[in-house]
């Protein structure tokens, strides 16, 4: 796996793109947010915005407080400029747009995790915020596992060989240890799912292994079962080498985490924040203006 395939910090973060309007309310512009969420075409992103507006209504919040139509001047390739549609978005609006996206897209997955934590941080302790991050990562890893299985099938892996294919990835990442070997080393009961006992760091390493394998299978148009299996193991090895180079803890040496079901149960005690309060509910409106003064 080439060095440039390793994850690197984004040039712009969600917080970097945040702005303040004349009323002191924070907002994002849709045109700025579009590339950060992995959308190449405005039409597709605007469809996601419309779905988010519907979600906002269904959550009992006023879309006028969170979505404001706007116009923006953009420079064309010829050097000319023209006016295009845009939106001003509150933090809650950005959260809803991300939640309506495909979690298998890296940018969407990161945004979902970010906003899921940020929109609830006020009502969560640091420990519960960490729980939420782990639960979100576990969900994303599960989705990536399904996507990788589909990619393996496209690459020629037969259904009866799926176990061998996924085992190869574990062996590459865990220094030759397979699924059951890892559980034995960590004293995890054999019948429990290994990923249910992984902490956030370990889940993230496995998610990266799977996304890179899926991309490599597609990029190299692999259509041979054994080559697909070997590719999965090799990607696992290179992710392992990357962890070693940066001085991280190898995954087999990470302690087992509490079962994910207990984490989900704990989070269920803190209901999702849909009835927003104070400045979050007012969104773009700010503290001193009325909804009809926005946009």
Quick one: pLDDT at residue 98? 87
pTM of the model: 0.58
3-state secondary structure of 18: coil
The H-assigned helical ranges of the chain are: 30-36, 42-58, 91-99, 106-118, 126-154, 162-173, 179-186, 200-219, 225-245, 260-268, 278-282
Quick one: pLDDT at residue 294? 37
Segments of the chain with pLDDT less than 50: 1-11, 288-295
Quick one: pLDDT at residue 95? 86
Quick one: pLDDT at residue 295? 37
Quick one: pLDDT at residue 256? 96
End-to-end CA distance of the chain: 48
3-state secondary structure of 84: strand
Quick one: pLDDT at residue 14? 77
Give the C-alpha separation, 171 to 103, whole Å.
26
Give the C-alpha separation, 291 to 295, whole Å.
9
Give the C-alpha separation, 265 to 122, whole Å.
19
């Amino acid at each position: 796996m080439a060095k440039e395939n390793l994850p690197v910090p984004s040039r712009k973060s969600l917080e970097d793109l945040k702005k303040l309007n004349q009323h002191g309310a924070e907002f994002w512009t849709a045109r700025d947010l579009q590339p950060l969420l992995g959308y190449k075409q405005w039409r597709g992103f605007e469809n996601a915005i419309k779905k988010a507006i519907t979600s906002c209504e269904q959550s009992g919040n006023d879309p006028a407080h969170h979505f404001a139509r706007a116009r923006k001047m953009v420079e064309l390739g010829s050097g000319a400029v023209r006016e295009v549609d845009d939106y001003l978005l509150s933090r809650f609006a950005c959260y809803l747009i991300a939640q309506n996206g495909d979690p298998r897209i890296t940018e969407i997955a990161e945004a979902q995790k970010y906003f899921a934590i940020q929109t609830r941080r006020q009502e969560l302790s640091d420990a519960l915020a960490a729980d939420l991050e782990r639960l979100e990562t576990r969900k994303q890893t599960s989705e990536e596992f399904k996507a990788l299985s589909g990619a393996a099938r496209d690459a020629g892996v037969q259904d009866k060989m799926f176990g061998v294919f996924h085992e190869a990835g574990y062996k590459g990442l865990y220094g030759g240890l397979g699924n059951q070997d890892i559980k034995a080393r960590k004293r995890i009961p054999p019948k429990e799912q290994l990923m249910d006992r992984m902490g956030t760091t370990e889940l993230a390493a496995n998610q990266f292994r799977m996304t890179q394998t899926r991309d490599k299978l597609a990029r190299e148009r692999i259509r041979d079962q054994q080559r697909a299996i070997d590719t999965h193991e090799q990607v696992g090895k290179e992710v392992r080498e990357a962890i070693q180079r940066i001085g991280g803890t190898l995954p087999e040496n990470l302690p087992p985490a509490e079962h994910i079901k207990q984490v989900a149960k704990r989070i269920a005690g803190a209901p999702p924040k849909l009835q927003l309060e104070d400045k979050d509910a007012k969104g773009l409106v700010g503290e001193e203006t009325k909804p009809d003064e926005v946009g």
